Amino acid sequence: MKKIFLCCAAGMSTSMVVNKMKQAAAQKGIETDIIAVSMDEFDATLPKYDCCLLGPQIKYKFEEFKKKAEAVGKPIAVINSMDYGMMRGDKILADALAMMQ
C-alpha cells in the first residue's frame, strides 16, 4: 500500500488530481491511499504517509515543508505545474512512486 498525500492552499483543487491519480493506480493494479489536505493539515498528516506532493500554487512553502519532511525521512516534491494543470494523474502518480523507491 502506497500512501501519498497532496497538499495545497485549501485542499480543493488537488482533490481533482487525487481522483485522477486513484484512477491511474486502479488501472495499474497499484494499491494506494491518496488524499488531499490543506497546508494547515501538513504537520499532522506527514507522519502517516509515505510521501508528499505540493500543489504548484504553494511551491513557496517547499523549503519550509522539506525541512519537516526530511526530519522524519519522507520524500517531498512540488507537482509539475503542467501535469497539474492538465490533470495528468498517471504522470503525477508515477512521479510519486519514483520518489518512494
Which residues belong to the active site?
8
Report the 3 state secondary structure along 43-62. Answer: HHHHHHCCEEEECHHHHHHH
**Cα–Cα distance measured from residue 54 to residue 45, given in angstroms and rounded to the nearest whole number:** 13
- The residues near 64 (Cβ < 8 Å, ≥ 6 apart) are none
Residue carrying the nine cell digits 494547515: 40
